[in-house]
Structure 1
Amino acid sequence: MSAPYDIVFVGLSLSSSWGNGHATTFRALIRGLHTHGQRVLFLERDVPWYANNRDLPHPDFCTLAYYNSVDELIEKFGSQLTSAGAVIVGSYVPDGVDVIDALERLKLNSWHFYDIDTPVTLAKLMRGDEEYLAKRQIPLFDSYFSFSGGPTLERLQGEFGAKRALPLYCSVDADRYGPTGEAPEWDLGYLGTYSVDRQPILERLLLEPARLLPQMRFVVAGSQFPGDIEWPENVERIEHLPPAEHRSFYNRQRFTLNVTRADMVAAGWSPSVRLFEAGACGTPLISDIWTGLDQMFPADSIVLARTSDDVVRTLEQTTASERNAMAASARRYVLAEHTGTARAGELLSMLGHERSTIRPSA
């Protein structure tokens, strides 16, 4: 019988980044845990939309396994779950409420919730929408790890009864994101799945500047955009960009755009992985504005934009030396604070684990 796993994740997806931001988050974090010497099992619901779009079917940094129902999850993996050092359930897990109830009955040694969508989750719960987490379940967990920090943590404890709410932001795998020296193809680009609340910001901060700057080139990469969007002629569309191509994509932009979902803007302290990926690549950032961003990125490493004119002015007036200085500042900060290895160390500390000797990079 094999030794117990240090950590078991039950999450939305590790195998496929199609239409979700969870996979890249889990990959960076679990690679970091592997670097810290942790044995990790990731359990993923086997659903066709991910099965048909798997870009990491065989990870070399953890064990990945699938289940088809809540009953199968418990029957097939019950021993691994009960013997694990810690079990972490993610947001948006299919049949999440039933999964959590089933896990609660196992009387796990240490179990936690990792909310990669905290402001969305809380907004849903306030509407009575318990798609993947019930309000009554929040006090069950030993810890509630949140993608959002700041006042949201106080809300989780004071209003929703979390025993312990702690920030666990996204991160970037520094071995897979960095400068490539490729020549820029686009003046401004954006990478992200379509969402209704982000689209007006994308319209204001990229599509309108594209119309105002027909001599420049723009790109939008991401799935699920509706067919009735009127794309300017100088905006290239990429339907889906697997993580293996993200590094090259960022490196071929003069600037990259970060756009944040409305619930996360309202909550603040909710950085997107795009910020850290682009920063690690040394690509200058333009972002919408929300509380906490100025404490996550130094002022000299990012352009904050409210209007189309802000973006136009940045694209037209920023010199190459200014862009290079911004990029260097962002990269230094990301590599110091926001790598998967750093984030994994934070998680292990919060779990109370002794940190093992970090494995050298391959």
Structure 2
Amino acid sequence: MRIAFYGSSLLSSYWNGAATYYRGLLRALAGLGYDITFYEPNVYDRQANRDIDPPDWCKVVVYDGTVEAVKATALEAASADIVVKASGVGFEDDALLDAVLIAARPQALKVFWDVDAPATLAELRERSDHPLHRALKRIDLVLTYGGGAPVVEAYREMGAADCIPIYNALDPETHHPVRSDARFSADLAFLGNRLPDREERVDSFFFEPAAYLPRLSFLLGGSGWADKPMSGNIHYIGHVPTRDHNAFNVSPRAVLNISRASMALNGFSPATRVFEAAGAGACLITDAWIGLEQFLAEGEEVLVARDGKDVAALLQELTDARAREIGRNALRRVLRDHTYAQRAAETDRIFRRFVRTPAVEAAE
């Protein structure tokens, strides 16, 4: 079946945390026989900061960041059996969604794929005139990359025909154990872009423990932190391309996951970093959120902190041997239960359940 997928970027993770989610899931779907074209706008310097070349398992179309290009690119949805518009494309999202829905053939499966469902739902609650309210009447299915029952129920209450989470996972071909790299040596490392609904939590879970533990070394990766006041034991290295993620994860004694405020409040929203770190065999410390036990076991496969004081206490108690043990346990768990091959098989079952017409089946 042919999929037209409109998202932020497949080629670049620069200011684009969904990149590895798209890559892992779509590559696995391609392995199941799907013919995929990914459409991404040339915005935010992402094309100047590509992490990968266009892959052989997916055609990538990069279009200009203009209204005219959006309209022209949306017309290509007419050739697809499954049309996907993701949230957070980053340029004229509402106009793109409307144009894609108009262009899609009546018998095509029309999907809205929300990669930040708690934030999207908050916008929908605040704005009764949000264009997505009207668009949901024309959308066959909402998929999300997290959120659990709270997100499913909320989307259905908003008028979605159905909503199903497809969680983040591990692609073991891209995220796996490697040798440590001195560039990323630290007692604790955190990788994440500076975002308004995350910064306060980063202050609490990362910057405050660093200030409290001046003899320990802290490593900070991600875009936007250059002008942030920080203690002298924090080494800021800026954007970390995906080719360095494995070394970034395995080289420190532990790595830290900090959820965005909306996702922590909602729960059931493991970030891509959780599975990437576990897939590299890293010792992961994560902030606490509802549903964590569905993915990793606290104390055995992951360490959990309720605040910055917990982070500091965990670091002071954590030995190298204990860190390695947790990392090994986490790697075994994600390889067993949380790979993109498994997520793709689930997505394939969903697509086949919702596809209704002989015209689509004949395109296989």
TM-score (norm 2): 0.89
Tell me, in whole angstroms, the C-alpha distance in 2 between the residues paired with 1:304 and 1:245: 25
Residue 13 of structure 1 contacts residue 23 of structure 1 at CA under 8 Å; is this kept in 2? yes
Name the % identity. Answer: 32
Alignment check: 8 A CA contact 1:259 1:287 kept: yes
Structural mapping, 1:210-225, within 5 Å: 210-225=210-225
Aligned length: 346
Q: CA deviation at 1:38?
A: 2.1
Q: Which residue of 2 aligns with 1:203?
A: 203
Match of 1:135 among 133, 136, 160: 133
Which residue is 1:330 aligned to? 330
Q: Structure 1 residues 36, 348: CA separation in 2 closer, same or farther (over 3 Å shift)?
A: same
Decide whether aligned partners of structure 1 residues 45 and 183 sit closer, same or farther in structure 2, where only a CA change above 3 A counts: closer
Question: Aligned to 1:21, what secondary structure does the other structure show?
Answer: coil
32 and 221 in structure 1: CA distance in 2 versus 1, 3 angstrom threshold: same
Match of 1:155, SS? helix
Give 1:1-362 correspondences, 5 Å limit. Answer: 6-47=2-43, 49-68=45-64, 69=66, 71-73=68-70, 75=72, 78=75, 80-93=76-89, 94-108=91-105, 109-128=108-127, 134-147=132-145, 148-157=147-156, 159-182=157-180, 185-225=185-225, 227=227, 229-299=228-298, 300-352=300-352
- Within 1, Cα distance between the matches of 2:126 and 2:77? 32
Q: Which stretch of structure 1 is more off in the superposition, 251-260 or 326-335?
A: 326-335
The Cα shift of 1:128 comes to 1.6
Tell me the distance in 1 between the aligned counterparts of 2:158 and 2:74.
30
What are the Cα deviations for residues 214-242 of structure 1, in whole angstroms up to 9, with x where unaligned? Answer: 22111010002261x22111111011111
Task: Name the amino acid aligned to 1:152.
Answer: V
Does structure 2 retain, via aligned residues, the 8 Å contact 1:36–1:341?
Answer: no
State whether residues 70 and 102 of structure 1, in contact with CA within 8 Å, keep that contact through their aligned partners in structure 2: no
The normalised TM-score by structure 1 is: 0.89
Question: Helix, strand or coil: the match of 2:155?
Answer: helix
4+ long deviations beyond 6 Å: none
Whichever residue aligns with residue 24 of structure 1, its letter is: T
CA distance in structure 2 between the aligned counterparts of 1:331 and 1:130, rounded to whole angstroms: 45
Instruction: Give the counterpart letter for 1:105 in structure 2.
Output: I
Larger RCO of the pair (alpha carbons < 8 Å, separation 6+): 1
Change (3 A) 1:319 1:38: same
Deviation, 1:350, is 0.8
Deviations 1:243-281 (A, max 9, x none): 111111101111111101111112111110010000001
Q: CA deviation at 1:74?
A: 5.0
Does the 8 A contact of 2:221 with 2:238 survive in 1? yes
Structure 2 letter corresponding to 1:205: F
Indicate the RMSD between aligned Cα atoms, in angstroms. 2.1
CA shift in 2, pair 1:57/1:73, >3 Å: farther
Secondary structure class of the residue paired with 2:172: coil
Q: Secondary structure at the match of 2:290?
A: coil
1:76 shift after superposition:
5.2
Runs of at least 5 residues in structure 1 that lack an aligned partner in the other structure: 355-362
**Corresponding residue of 1:359:** none
**Cα drift, residue 95 of structure 1:** 1.4
Q: Residue 247 of structure 2 aligns to which amino acid in structure 1?
A: S
Amino acid at match of 1:7: I
3-state SS of 1:343 partner: helix
2:133 is aligned with what amino acid?
Answer: K
